[in-house]
Chains A and B, each alone.
Chain A
């Protein structure tokens, strides 16, 4: 196995044993990126120089015998919606094409403090809106397992980069499934942490009450390691929970004996690809074989989740994206003769179709006369969905569902029909509405394409997620598969 194909914790061992230096490792990644990026197109911006400098710093520290953090010196990358000081942060939008932030996001600061080696910023659906990364205003990222297929979205670049070994791990953001769905499509591990566990400060907001930053990794151990580094209270984020962060490594025990597992029937309804259903059912049996207690259960309000999500998320985005007006930064239309047409033309040209569509939906849903019928109603649905989960977690430790209804689809297959695209998030959006954590792990292949299993736990139940995911991973080998790039 090539160096860059290894997991972060494996690379960590090599660094500590001084079998490789961070500089060598970083160069190996850069070289590999140069080779495969032509196929995958995961990176919007690469920061080779800064990465090499950070790697050298790490090597010096290590040479001096200084203590280093668990992920220090390991090349990684960020979805391009996390603010990086002096490094272009675009959200894959024309409106922020040349925006260089003057400050670092909290997750960036936390990783920097531990010796982050950042290779660059990753492609995404514009402002995280989309499920295929086809909505990037720059270019499309390809699924490393099949270059004719989408990597999923909106963290498509982040998932593809890990799958194609263009970074040891990456950070994505998940508003309605944007980490888990691409993780499933690309055959990697993706975690949407509990809302409030990871600071959102510096995450360019899509829908504030739903957004959460999380890791995309090659295996569960890496996922726990990355979460450990980025979790915790942030005084700069009022919605971040002021709770101690558990030691997630301690949760990595391959034991699910007696674990109570609920299987919500609503996730196995019409529309689920039969192959995917078969693979997920096998995975559930695998849990049973490992000693877990499986029971069918119900989350009765699931069918209302998608419409509620497609009211709440656009409503918040219509407000969050109002600041992109051409007045102070980013793209500006220079032909306009007055301020109002400057606003309008800037936004018309600066935003893509999907972003404009959602801004319009959100503006409509919040406007007077419609607020009660749409936004308020959606909030009520959200409360009911939360209650579904509360009731389920009174009985079960975890819930198991498919992450997606099908494997990765082909480019263009859904992009002409927004509703069919929205339906690809049907298994994931409820989790964001409820604020609970969920992880997607590789659980099989359908015609050579990865399939994801979604494990859901109660708020701040990440340790339980890791335990269950780790036990499954130890009993299987799907996470060890690597795509053969350049081969269709």
Chain B
């Protein structure tokens, strides 16, 4: 049944910009800090104050716009979005309405090997609101709420996509790609857990083949890629089920409950605000000339797609490996820096995507926090190539390096992990293993070639994995032939 429907998904992503000071005043944007210590009359919206636009915010918005292939507006302005909420000191948010700073962009995603272009409708600048801290579990069960205005006036850009995505996987791929691009531009640190990257999704379903959009529902409160994917999957199913059961999807805002794995209604469109947008009279219109845009262009770094292309074409990585490596700027940098000391790209990619990410994920750490430096990893790989240690031992050493921060060489030396490549020593062990496992030898003689695997394993066990595997194979074969 579900196959007859298709989903239409658009994302609205809020990105907190990494400027040192707020959008309309000189207060710090630093995360954390005692509540209401990063505030001044301006960001508190006290009577009589006026906003002064931080030029760096515009620089960053232009940079993000260029990175997302947008046209940068030569004339843009700020507007007031009026609504009441205790976290909004002026009870209006200074934002951009009909003349945003950037429009008509796109980014390319890849899902299951299929490439797709997702349109970006617009990017606009705005100020963040403060934060409410409720005394109870929920706002309804709270007897009081405290307001922290430290975040008030932190600059945001809102990136609105076209409704071009058709599945939860595509939505996730879009957000991952968007995050990677923004990270590369260094205009935000994109920390979803600190709320510096926040995503809302607009979802509707329609019978496949029809042009008309179904009724759309907005989903808020998805704090990770996984949550986004699950929420979108859930919501698509919910809407299809409603249609199938003869029900009607109503236009509303729903919240994602990650623990229960469901979306729940927050407010319906009937109660929705009329924001009464009008041009912000306290700020003059923003005129951006070509020189300004060009000066930002000069600071543009290599973006994920270009970097991926370089890794594939110049270094010979597979498209998949290159995608994973370039999906995070820090990972790509780690890769490049490792390559400065060690030249086999495929091996480096495998180690990063396998061992390093596994250990980091297990500890909940980022690449930046990796206890192993690119150089240290290269040194380990060189030890392996020289035959000093086996591949198996290398993984053991790597884990030890990760836990202690010691160099590979030290660990190998201290733990006596040097590979045994002495033919005499291995030969003796091989003979012992053959003597102790007559059944396996018999099997081998009877044509069961895989029996040799068991015997190799026994030799490795005897040598605690230190025997040179190639040598073990060679000697075993020789000796078995002679029996």
Contacts and interface: CB of A to CB of B under 8 A. Distances in A.
Interface of A: 81-83, 89, 91, 96, 99, 101-103, 105, 200-205, 207-209, 235-239, 315-316, 318-319, 322-325, 327-329, 339-340, 343, 363, 366-368, 371, 375
A238 B53 contact: yes
Contacts of B53: 238
Contact of A99 (B47, B82, B276, B282): B47
Contacts of A238: 50-53, 282-284
B307 interface: no
Contacts of A316: 278, 281
Interface stretch (B86-94, B212-220, B257-265, B445-453): B86-94
Nearest to B83: A322
A366 B82 contact: yes
Contacts of B41: 101-103
Given A237-B50, A319-B92, 16 more contacts: A89-B47, A96-B47, A101-B41, A101-B48, A200-B50, A208-B281, A236-B52, A318-B82, A323-B47, A324-B47, A327-B147, A328-B44, A328-B147, A340-B84, A366-B276, A371-B276
Contacts, number: 98
Given A102-B41, A328-B89, A367 B276 contact: yes
Contacts of A99: 47
Contacts of B52: 235-238
B111 interface: no
A205 B48 CA distance: 6
For chain A, what secondary structure do more than half of its interface residues adopt (helix, strand, loop), or is it mixed? loop
18 contacts: A101-B41, A103-B41, A105-B48, A205-B47, A208-B282, A239-B283, A319-B82, A322-B91, A323-B47, A323-B90, A324-B47, A325-B86, A328-B44, A329-B46, A363-B276, A366-B276, A366-B277, A368-B276
Contacts of A235: 52
A322 B284 contact: no
B49 interface: yes
B80 A319 contact: yes
B371 interface: no
Interface of B: 41, 44-53, 80, 82, 84, 86, 89-92, 147, 274, 276-278, 281-284
Contacts of A103: 41, 46, 49
Given A201-B49, A322-B92, A328-B44, A239 B84 contact: no
Give 9 nearest A-B pairs by CB, closest first. A322-B91, A208-B281, A366-B276, A209-B281, A83-B48, A202-B48, A204-B47, A204-B48, A323-B90
Q: Which of B50, B51, B147 has the most CB of A within 10 A?
A: B50
A371 B80 CA distance: 14
Nearest to A210: B281
Nearest to A327: B86
B50 A236 contact: yes
Contacts of B51: 238
Nearest to A340: B84
A96 B47 CA distance: 10
Contacts of B45: 323
Contacts of A343: 84
Contacts of B282: 205, 208, 238-239
Given A328-B44, A363-B276, A322 B50 contact: no
A99 B47 CA distance: 10
B97 to A, nearest CB: 11
Contacts of B44: 328
A341 to B, nearest CB: 12
B89 A201 contact: no
Contacts of A366: 82, 276-278
